[in-house]
């Protein structure tokens, strides 16, 4: 069942203006809170942004590649306190992909906007800009923001034949021979 979702999932950057229902919001929230984290430390937190003006400000967090956040009826800022866990980036990434797969299961589209290591302008990082916009504590980080909503586009999933099978190795790097049962 999950593979079926993965087969059709694509990054969606154009959304219908329809809001995400309360039931779907609750499902997304529960799914992300069920995300595993290293040693159960849960360094992540999530800001569900439905306010249009605020989503517009989020869309300007970096020089390019976040414009779609203004149009998405829901933006979810994945934030973290890095003092809680040394693998906070990995934990946040796991939570984000679970959020994307859950959105897909609900018939919603999503796209990831990278913020960590990106510039807002020549003087300010995207994270510093977002720390101010979202009123975050000084030590909190914003690795990425997801835009979520009802898709206004429907690109087809990538066909199986287009997958880069050269990325699969067996037992050792470079070994393509599949073990026999």
pLDDT tens for 52-105 read 999 999 999 999 999 999 999 999 999 999 999 999 999 999 999 999 999 999
Q: Do 108 and 149 contact (CB within 8 A), yes or no?
A: yes
C-alpha–C-alpha distance, residues 99 and 106, integer Å? 11
- The Cβ-side half-sphere exposure at 22, using a 13 Å CA radius, reads 0
Q: What is the pLDDT of residue 145?
A: 98
C-alpha–C-alpha distance, residues 71 and 13, integer Å? 8
Q: What is the pLDDT of residue 112?
A: 98
Confidence band for 3, pLDDT divided at 50, 70 and 90: very high
Q: Is 56 helix (H, G, I), strand (E, B) or coil?
A: helix
The residue extents of the domains of the chain are 2-156
Q: What is the pLDDT of residues 9-52, one digit of tens each?
A: 999 999 999 999 999 999 999 999 999 999 999 999 999 999 99
Give how far Cα 109 sits from Cα of 35, 175, 177, Å: 19, 36, 37
Q: What number of other Cβ atoms are within 10 A of residue 97's Cβ?
A: 14
Q: What is the pLDDT of residue 1?
A: 86
Runs of H (alpha helix) within the chain = 2-8, 22-33, 52-58, 68-71, 88-105, 126-133
| CATH of 2-156 among 2.60.40.10, 3.40.225.10, 3.40.50.970, 3.40.109.10 | 3.40.109.10
Residue 132, pLDDT > 90, answer yes
Residue 138 per-residue DSSP state? T
Residue 66 CB contacts under 8 Å (≥ 6 apart), including other chains: 58, 59, 60, 113, 115, 145
In the chain, what is the greatest distance between 2 CA atoms, to the nearest angstrom? 58
Confidence band for 106, pLDDT divided at 50, 70 and 90: very high
Mean pLDDT of 116-132: 98
For the chain, what is the radius of gyration of the CA atoms? 18
Q: What is the pLDDT of residues 142-152, one digit of tens each?
A: 999 999 999 99
Give the pTM.
Answer: 0.95
C-alpha–C-alpha distance, residues 86 and 107, integer Å? 34
């Amino acid at each position: 069942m999950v593979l079926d979702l993965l087969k059709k999932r694509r990054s969606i950057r154009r959304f219908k203006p329809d809001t995400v229902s309360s039931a779907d919001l609750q499902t997304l929230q529960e799914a992300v809170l069920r995300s595993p984290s290293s040693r159960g430390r849960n360094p992540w937190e999530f800001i569900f942004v439905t306010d249009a003006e605020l989503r517009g400000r989020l869309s300007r967090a970096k020089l390019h590649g976040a414009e779609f956040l203004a149009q998405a009826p829901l933006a979810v800022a994945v934030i973290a306190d890095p003092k809680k866990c040394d693998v906070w980036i990995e934990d946040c990434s796991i939570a984000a992909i679970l959020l994307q797969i859950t959105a897909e299961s609900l018939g919603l589209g999503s796209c990831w906007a990278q913020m960590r290591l990106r510039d807002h302008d020549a003087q300010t990082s995207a994270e510093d800009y977002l720390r101010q916009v979202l009123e975050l504590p000084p030590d909190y980080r914003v690795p990425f923001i997801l835009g979520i909503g009802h898709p206004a586009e429907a690109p087809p999933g990538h066909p199986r034949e287009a997958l880069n099978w050269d990325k699969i190795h067996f037992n050792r790097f470079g070994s393509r021979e599949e073990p026999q049962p």
